[in-house]
Structure 1
Amino acid sequence: MARTSLPRSRPPAAAVLCVAALFACASGCTAGATASGEPAAARTATRAPAPTRTEDLQDAYQDVVQDVLPSVVQITTEDGLGSGVVYDDRGHIVTNAHVVGEGEEFEVLLATRQQPLAARLVAAYPDQDLAVIALDDPPDRLRPATFGDSRKVAVGQIVLAMGNPLGLSSSVTQGIVSAVGRSVSEGEGRATLGNMVQTSAAINPGNSGGALVNLSGQVIGIPTLAARDPGMGGGQAAGIGFAIPASTVTFLADQMIEHGRVVDSGQAALGVSVRTVLGDGFEPAGAAVVEVTDDGPADRAGLRPGDVVVELGGEPVTDVVSLAEALAAQRPDDTVSVRYARDGDKRDARVTLGEA
């Protein structure tokens, strides 16, 4: 598989080299010399204009767009449009599970072609909102993307989001990494995604499944969703988007390509089924345990049906979604504190988490 996951060897295009020259004036400087001792007219004539940081940054943007955009594709499904990223030269493409939906066959438009190509589903993993599709007849000159090291993603880092928002193919937006390690729920009954990259780069419908790219031309994440503002009737909150980190993408995509499914989720589990319970003011007050998996993490720690989980790993738990978000921030085999209520009393337990 000819997919690159190591950083490119070329230096970041945004690097700026500034050279300063100091001139000393010996005794006997002529009239008209400046304080530095050099005649002003001569200095103006011999010094070339220094490049500006704005020009260097613009060049970096253009280099990255030219390098990466051929790896970003448009995916047409029965339900609409989405984006994807060329994963290897065998025609595998990574995207979001919610982009492919229930579909099995798709049309893929490459940035370098006029006509779409047929593709089929390899596997989808809704629990992490990832999917892999494959071109039926991949062309000879595919451009697989380079996936970066998620551990090196830092707050403040400049990033570009590439995709097909609102059907506008090959669009690019820019922003920064606003936060890392976020746990985000896609909504009641849908996936809760852990270790997400938050970005200010605009993510609109159709951007899902595209590429979040650093200025070294490496894909550091797959844009997946934008935050919704309940105060705006659920409208999209500007400047708050989330991307699945590259390490999660490659970890799961390699499994889907090799096995046709995910065999190792890497997601932590408590070993319970739960429901949201309300407090005296009819506000969510915790996640009530409905069923405990025999010999699972919760069972071994002494939890039982009827207990109400109110905190996990130091994070408050008010409902089913917040419990899922707290678990998404953990890893299998982590040992965490769990606070729960039983018969009106608060209790604490240490739980070694399992795998979902």
Structure 2
Amino acid sequence: MRTMWKGAIGFGLVSVPVRLYAATQEHGTRLHQVHDEDGGRIHLKRVCDACGKEVDYEHVARGYEDEEGHTAVLTQSDLAGLPLPSKKLIDVLAFVDADRIDPVQLANSYYLAPDGPAANKPYVLLRETLKQTERVAVTKIALRTRESLALLRVHDRLMTVHTMYWPDEIRATEDLAPPDSVTVRPQELKMATSLMDTLSEDFDFEQLEDEYEVALSELIHAHLDHRPAPKKAVTRAPDNVIDLMAALQASIDTAGKKAQPGKAPAKAATESRSTKTAESNKRTTKKSMAKKATAGAGKGATAKSAAAKSATSKSAAAKSTTAKSTKKTAARKASHRAS
């Protein structure tokens, strides 16, 4: 990583030499301004309104225009001469509980690493102290030509700095919130909580995807390959909610059916499918048992009838056999007498 800033963290009489690195980077595809007719690159020139001439960057200064149209021209040397105590020092102003910092105050994030072996011990000391006390440090830092508030906190094995907006840079929220007369029922809160639980189990950020960036990449490659641009269905915005309870129930049902980005949704979907399969199996089993019972009853009646017929047949056969046997016996007796 490229070092963006070198200085020290100062708290009390302790000084910790550190280096500053950017903690984030954009993954978006970089697009250029081009001429739509021939694809030629567009170059912007710095032109002075007063004389109409193109101005080299070394002659570009900063200026401020007042309400009467007067301009104060500030050169690079003027700006460099301004007092900036935090230019090379991250000055710790106070240690506070982490929940006192509103995320809306945070701006950019940077990693802080010890600058040299001698800085390792005081660096680890400050890091472990922040970790054990579960506190963060409110500081000041100057990056480039601007001084800003900053938040110093522990992130894994490093300390990080998050630049912060000054209090007067945070806009007021007056007239933005719904009126106090708007209330919700306990049943609605319960269902909303159930929906949150369904959507929050084992959520995994690594499974998320920048769909716009993927679509942009496909569009670029389609143009480069001289083929039609891919078309994808556009997700419609939901209609205004009329029945809040019905909308919550539908959301819970949908969350249980389809896989969400992360591990839990797939599990929830599997459990939902398993539950439905089990219910279906139960219904099938009941129907099967009913059919078997009916078939069994029918077979039982048929078996009884067959048994009765068989018994009658056997009885008739027995009578026939007895009659034949009697005839044979009588014939033998008659033959014996004749002889």
Same fold (TM over 0.5): no
TM normalised by structure 2 equals 0.25
- Scaled by the length of structure 1, the TM-score of the pair is 0.24
Bigger CA radius of gyration: 2
